[in-house]
Amino acid sequence: MQDTQPSSSRKLSSVMDEEKEPVEELDPIQKLLQSSTPLFKRSTLVLKPEHIKFQKLVNANYGHEHQSIVSSVCFHPSENILMTSGLDRKVKLFEVSHSHATLNNPETSNRNNLSSMQNSKKLQSLFMPDLPAYTAKFILDGEQAIITGNRKHFYSYHAQQNKLERFTVGNLEQKNLSQVEVSKRSGSDLFSISSVETGEAHLFSQKSKKLLFSLKMNGSCNSVCFSNDDRYLYTAGDQAEIYQWDLRQRRCIAKVQDQGSFQTTQMDISPDNQHLATGSKMGTVNVYRLNGGLTEQGHTKNMLTEGQKPEKTLMNLTTSITDLRFNPTSQLLVFCSKWKKNALRMVHIPSYATYQNFPGAATGILKYPLNLDFNQVTGEYLAMGNDEGKVHLWHLPYFYQFK
């Protein structure tokens, strides 16, 4: 296997944005990224499973919609910055501010009166003439972003330097690099690009962007996720088998049949390392409990066991799951399907009760949901990209608390 090598490094102004925005527009990003002070404290109140309070805010990209589907949404790991990508070859960054939310009336009851919140501020817009942006993810604790698509090259974006760097992938068989997953552990150097065609998960260095090694499973590799300590990688695909890999030993240590599924499409692990959720082509969502305990080296096991059955099977949707996410406190699980209008659901953990009041009156305007993400600072914001180029935004006041 051949390492990736940087083929060119170009200033943002030479490859970006026909809108010709001035470089000083990056100042808000630099100020936010240079701050190391947490914005909010966690709430310690009990989240009730029967009813959740929320407010439907003005779309995160209102006035700056993509001229295509929204292919990905991703919050910065430590700041309230939202990054969106589209097949219009653009990646955009927005500041999401709590100061405009009407917290006195957090739940929307009228779809025509979504919120009095001001438009989210656009911080930057990037244009890549040779790459439809399928996926954009933050790496290196938010200092950079990785942008990939259905090509054999990808970009990294350096926010502080206002620069894009182009990388080509060596002799990998796959030509589509759109399936990217980044380790959530602070300080991690790992990200993965998976292949539907070859069934491989390729592990790259966030710093060098070089290929480190590959792991191959039977069938396609549709989805991957990292354990929160970077010790394990979980992969799944069209044979509905979940593989657990030890990244230090670079071998499969457990394999579990994803019960009731003939093709696993999505996975996510809860931030508390207690649960692994999978979504299937049939629309079912399985939630597995990961066995705890410590290894001899003191690492959390997070183990699947042969023949393990789901702790809960959720059958709210009937079309293929295209994204699912736990919130930062592991108290919520949201999932969606792009194959049916308004196919978005929110579930309380650990009761597994579906919130019947969400998304409420906004249901009629969601259209086809494609992707989801919670802000990592507090978990009080939920973003959802759709087929119309819009990014819907909700505020969950339970997770909001001043310093």
pLDDT at 166 over 90: yes
In the beta sheet, which residues pair with residue 324? 335
Which of 7-16, 40-49, 107-116, 367-376 is modeled with the greatest confidence? Answer: 367-376
Task: Report residue 363's pLDDT band, with 50, 70 and 90 as the boundaries.
Answer: confident
Query: Which is higher by pLDDT, 400 or 221?
Result: 221
Q: Output Rg (C-alpha) for the chain, integer angstroms.
A: 20
pLDDT digits (tens, 9 = 90+) for 176-219: 899 999 999 999 999 999 998 889 999 999 999 999 999 999 99
Cβ burial, residue 216 (10 Å; 0-12/13-18/19+): middle
Q: What is the pLDDT of residue 22?
A: 41
pLDDT digits (tens, 9 = 90+) for 205-216: 999 999 999 999
pLDDT at 37 over 50: no
Residue numbers of the domain that contains 163: 5-399
Sheet arrangement for strand 121-127:
70-75, 81-86, 90-95, 121-127
Query: Using CA atoms, how far apart are residues 62 and 68, in angstroms rounded to an integer?
Result: 14
- Reduced to 3 states (helix: H, G, I; strand: E, B; else coil), residue 12 is helix
- Average pLDDT, stretch 27-56? 67
Task: Report residue 113's pLDDT band, with 50, 70 and 90 as the boundaries.
Answer: very low
The single-letter code of the amino acid at 401 is: Q
Q: What is the pLDDT of residue 29?
A: 59
Judge contact between 331 and 283, C-beta under 8 A: no
Query: Which is higher by pLDDT, 13 or 124?
Result: 124
Neighbours of 213 (CB within 10 A): 11
- Average pLDDT, stretch 18-33? 49
pLDDT at 137 over 50: yes
Q: Pull the structure tokens for residue 226.
A: 């990292």
Query: Which is higher by pLDDT, 296 or 283?
Result: 283
Query: What are the backbone dihedrals phi and psi of residue 31, each rounded to the nearest 5 degrees, phi first?
Result: -65, -40
Task: Record the pTM.
Answer: 0.84
- Average pLDDT, stretch 340-345? 96
Task: Report residue 170's pLDDT band, with 50, 70 and 90 as the boundaries.
Answer: confident
In the chain, the percentage of residues whose pLDDT exceeds 70 is 80
Buried/exposed code over 7-43 (b: 16+ C-beta within 10 A; e: otherwise): eeeeebeebbbeeebeeebbebbeebbeeeeebbeeb
pLDDT at 5 over 50: no
Q: What is the pLDDT of residue 24?
A: 45
Task: Report residue 23's pLDDT band, with 50, 70 and 90 as the boundaries.
Answer: very low
Average pLDDT, the chain: 85
CATH number at residue 323: 2.130.10.10
pLDDT digits (tens, 9 = 90+) for 311-335: 999 999 999 999 999 999 999 999 9
Total of domains in the chain? 1
Bridge-based pairing state of the strands 381-386 and 369-374: antiparallel
Long-range contacts of 387-390 (CB under 8 A, 24+ apart): 387/69, 387/70, 387/338, 388/65, 388/69, 389/61, 389/65, 389/66, 389/67, 389/68, 389/69, 389/70, 389/86, 389/88, 390/59, 390/61, 390/62, 390/65, 390/70
pLDDT at 15 over 50: no
Q: What is the pLDDT of residue 45?
A: 66
